[in-house]
Structure 1
Amino acid sequence: MPPVRRSLARVLPLLLSALLAGCAAPAPRDGAERDIREAVADWARTPPEPLAGIPLEGWAYEVSAVRREGGQATVRADLRYRLSGYDPAAAGSAREVRVVREGGRWRVTGDRAAPGALPQLWDQGPVTVVRGAHSLVLGVGQEPATLSAVAAEADRAVPAASGAWPGPWAGRAVVLVPGSLERMAELLGRPAAEYGGMGAVTTGRVGAAPAPADRVVVNPAGWAQLSPAGRGVVLTHEVTHVATRAATTATTPLWLSEGFADWAAYRGTAATPEQAAPALARAVRRGELPGELPRTRDFAFGGDPEALARAYEGAWLACRMIADRRGEAALVDLYGRAGREPWPVALREALGSDPDGLTKDWREALRKEFR
């Protein structure tokens, strides 16, 4: 027998033993772990009292690991829940549950976001709930009057978004209002500096697969600096992202996604390009006409605020030009196709154009607008 084959013959029984050991049933849990899991299950049957005002359903913790040290234990679990009437699918959150042994029994003392997981709004303090006609506003550290004003703005934003986007969507918005910019950044898992000049952002997964409803997260510092008209524009922009989420995919150009949201926000207002696109107007008059439509990296936060403003303004004016020249239905058609077809195909089918032609028309429109 060749040497290699003799080696395999000797190793094969060892490999077979290892495989059989790996396929064996997991070791039974000891009594303490079983009691800890039962304590978590009993505790998690209903949401905690501080969350009583939030319309929660399907509240459940699925334990994945237990780490015990004497009379204390840390339990890793996945929290699943829905906001009743708003979430078409369960939202998820990785949690760490703290358990202690007292009087011969295990008792849960609380939970928090697991390391590396994003916190939930209620991790930041007691939640105040305000229901609007088309919105659910959840706030921490905010006056009820402030949350009611946000709900009223959201109730105006939802019909405005529906008017711009005739495609199917829930027609409801969930808005989170944390206590500060820093708290907002915690919820999003990003540095606070990225959101300093923003009034709100939207979270959520793109695509048509069932997913929890998007959350519009308000930056209270930025929100306070906005005029009433500015708040309407910001919230309608974000709600439009919620409305178009199912039609938005990785193939949708970011300029189209952001420009469409701004087009919906300014649609029906008296805002002129001079008023709504001042940074781009200044650049064009300096002889700095953009050579191409805004790229994905142009929308990155934390850089030059003037460049960021020009990206958003240029995207809005591109969508405005399409709607003015080809009609709103053509713009909506382009958006829908861009999420499911290659970009050149979407342009050809929706507008009878191509990328170079669209860029040329946009640049000419900017030159005429800001000459």
Structure 2
Amino acid sequence: MSQTPRAAGPAGPDAEPARGRHSAASRHQRAWPLFLSLVLVATAVAGGLALHQSRSNGPESSQAASNGASGTPDVAARAAEVDKLLQTRAQAVQQNHEAEFLATVDQGNKTLLAKQRVLFENLRQFGFAKLGYERLRDQFDQTLVDKYGPSTYAVAVAMAYQIEGIDPVPVRTMLGYTFTKRPDGHWMLVSDTDLDHLLPRGSHQEAWDTGSVLVKRGPRVLVVVEQNQDALATSLVAKAVSAVKAVSKSWPGGWTGSGFVIALDDKVVRGADYSLPKNAEDALAMATWVYRTLPGEVTGTGERADSYVVINPRNRTKVDARTLAHEFTHVATAPYGASAPRWMVEGAATYVEFLPMDGAPDLALDKYQARVRTKYLTKAKGLPADATFFDNASSSYPLSWLAMDYLFHKYGGTEVSTLYQEMAALGTTQAERNRIMTEHVGVTEAGLFQVLRAAAAK
């Protein structure tokens, strides 16, 4: 079933979140969204820096092929030349030198040149405070040597960047480049897609990789849409600015970060995949991880720095400021870690989403609380489990909100924020989660569920 538009009609004092993601909500109800947030596919861990695990030929064959001879190639010279080329590309973007950027590309490949021109124009719009490219690992593939010639050099590359006013620290994403040597001895880029099948899903699928885009900014906000979608960009900037203010005001201790919103036609951008039927039907937006260090560089899962929000192209018109407040809460809490239970992650985001917000009608949360207790809590056997959270989203989200609403009102924002941070950083096992919960609020997760049942019975 399709997602019901949120806040489709004027909301008065009886406005409340609607019943569930598959419910037929009336015009005066707020539909319940399925937020698939903080998504990172498992292949990122396995794929990220495993590009050196080449096929049977191995790196020695790659090095020999780079000279087209059986003797030892000058690997250091090749590395120096390619590093210089990568540096040229980064500097050209920051200094707005399109000709220098395109000069690093195979001039005989008009299709690649056109794509690289669009890439340059896109990159220029983002306003990078820092930008660089770093060689990581060689990847030998005989088919590439056969295609481009004996000097072929395929390599994984880390794009290190920091968008001005958006990224709190420099972050990294993965690319795969194929180079060959020109007749004059210099190196040139002949492909930026040959290694995509070996990269983590979402790599080389950043917002600037998808075709001509339009970037618009607001205070602490950056929005990316298709080149001809100026009205959409303006609308999303206004909603995002309102959402940033709401999270900054509502999250304990305040939030000083920024919101990056991607609303493109592409169904696969970064870690968001809206080509999957369930995502395409239900999801409004996803907050996807951004990495300070890539999976495999320092830790197996990488060190998270931030999150970018990717909107489902099918549901762009249904996204409002509350939707973005939910996602920006995920952005605000992303640096804490990835080990908090899903009910806490989504419950906290929904708690902030439903609070009073400038420009949005207040929701009748007392009536909603009663509905959640009678409709979902009475039938539940515990707090929503991580493994089945999204399978039962119509009940998981309301129950998660109920739990976090109780914690915020019972213990206050400071204590709940501290609890969240410790759970996100250390809650890797049920034993650890129980220890942290007991230390901060005196009950385990199972105990909290029983408290909620007891409160509903009064």
Compute the TM-score of the two structures, normalised by the length of structure 2.
Answer: 0.62
How do residues 263-342 of structure 1 correspond to structure 2 at under 5 angstroms?
A: 263-268=351-356, 269-272=362-365, 274=367, 281-283=374-376, 289-300=379-390, 303=391, 307-339=392-424, 342=432
How far apart, in 2, do the equivalents of 1:57 and 1:147 lie? 22
1:195 is paired with a residue whose SS is helix
Q: 2:330 aligns with which of 241, 251, 254?
A: 241
How do residues 198-237 of structure 1 correspond to structure 2 at under 5 angstroms?
A: 198-204=283-289, 211-226=304-319, 231-237=320-326
Q: Report the alpha carbon displacement of residue 309 of structure 1 after superposing the two structures with TM.
A: 1.7
What do the CA deviations read for 1:235-277 (whole angstroms, capped 9, x no partner)?
Answer: 1111011112233441x22211110110011012324365589
Q: 1:31 to 1:322 in 2, by over 3 A?
A: closer
Q: 1:348 aligns with which of 421, 435, 438?
A: 438
How far apart, in 1, do the equivalents of 2:87 and 2:150 lie? 18
Between stretches 237-246 and 135-144, larger displacement belongs to 135-144
Choose between structure 1 and 2 for higher RCO, CA contacts under 8 A separated by at least 6 residues. Answer: 2
- Paired residues of 1:66 and 1:73 also in contact (CA < 8 A): no
1:50 maps to a residue whose letter is N
- Paired residues of 2:152 and 2:180 also in contact (CA < 8 A): yes
> What is the number of equivalent residue pairs in this alignment?
328
- Paired residues of 2:178 and 2:190 also in contact (CA < 8 A): yes
Q: Which residue of 2 aligns with 1:8?
A: none
Gaps of 5+ in 2: 1-71, 94-119, 293-301, 357-361, 427-431
How far apart, in 2, do the equivalents of 1:39 and 1:339 lie? 40
1:294 maps to a residue whose letter is P
**Which of the pair has more CA radius of gyration?**
1
1:163 is paired with a residue whose SS is helix
Q: Report the alpha carbon displacement of residue 218 of structure 1 after superposing the two structures with TM.
A: 1.2
1:204 is paired with a residue whose SS is strand
1:134 maps to a residue whose letter is R
- Paired residues of 1:44 and 1:60 also in contact (CA < 8 A): yes
What do the CA deviations read for 1:86-113 (whole angstroms, capped 9, x no partner)?
Answer: 2233322332334466664543355347
1:296 maps to a residue whose letter is D
Q: 1:160 to 1:43 in 2, by over 3 A?
A: closer
How far apart, in 2, do the equivalents of 1:86 and 1:46 lie? 21
1:335 is paired with a residue whose SS is helix
- Paired residues of 1:280 and 1:309 also in contact (CA < 8 A): no
What do the CA deviations read for 1:5-57 (whole angstroms, capped 9, x no partner)?
Answer: xxxxxxxxxxxxxxxxxxxxx86339777656654443443232332111113
Q: Which residue of 1 aligns with 2:128?
A: 56
How far apart, in 2, do the equivalents of 1:338 and 1:126 lie? 41
Q: 1:138 to 1:90 in 2, by over 3 A?
A: same
How far apart, in 1, do the equivalents of 2:178 and 2:338 lie? 39
Q: Which residue of 2 aligns with 1:137?
A: 223
Gaps of 5+ in 1: 1-25
Q: Which residue of 1 aligns with 2:18?
A: none
1:137 is paired with a residue whose SS is strand
1:222 maps to a residue whose letter is N
Asked if 1:165 is matched to 2:165, the reply is no
What do the CA deviations read for 1:38-91 (whole angstroms, capped 9, x no partner)?
Answer: 544434432323321111133222234376542873532222222123223332
Between stretches 336-345 and 192-201, larger displacement belongs to 336-345
How far apart, in 2, do the equivalents of 1:130 and 1:122 lie? 13
How far apart, in 1, do the equivalents of 2:76 and 2:289 lie? 40
What do the CA deviations read for 1:168-226 (whole angstroms, capped 9, x no partner)?
Answer: 6442111222214x234x6436753242211111122699x974431111113123235
Q: 1:331 to 1:161 in 2, by over 3 A?
A: same
Q: Which residue of 1 aligns with 2:22?
A: none
Q: 1:361 to 1:93 in 2, by over 3 A?
A: same
How far apart, in 2, do the equivalents of 1:137 and 1:72 lie? 41
Q: 1:320 to 1:75 in 2, by over 3 A?
A: same
- Paired residues of 2:348 and 2:401 also in contact (CA < 8 A): yes
Between stretches 82-91 and 270-279, larger displacement belongs to 270-279
Q: Percent identity?
A: 22
Q: 1:354 to 1:212 in 2, by over 3 A?
A: closer
How far apart, in 1, do the equivalents of 2:290 and 2:211 lie? 26
Between stretches 44-53 and 144-153, larger displacement belongs to 44-53
Q: CA RMSD in A?
A: 3.5
Q: Report the alpha carbon displacement of residue 315 of structure 1 after superposing the two structures with TM.
A: 0.3
How do residues 89-100 of structure 1 correspond to structure 2 at under 5 angstroms?
A: 89-99=169-179
How far apart, in 2, do the equivalents of 1:50 and 1:223 lie? 21
Q: 1:29 aligns with which of 75, 85, 88?
A: 75
2:323 is paired with a residue whose SS is helix
How far apart, in 2, do the equivalents of 1:171 and 1:35 lie? 38
How far apart, in 2, do the equivalents of 1:92 and 1:242 lie? 17
Q: 1:126 aligns with which of 198, 206, 212?
A: 212
Q: Which residue of 1 aligns with 2:192?
A: 111
What do the CA deviations read for 1:97-155 (whole angstroms, capped 9, x no partner)?
Answer: 34466664543355347332322222211221111112111223561221221121111
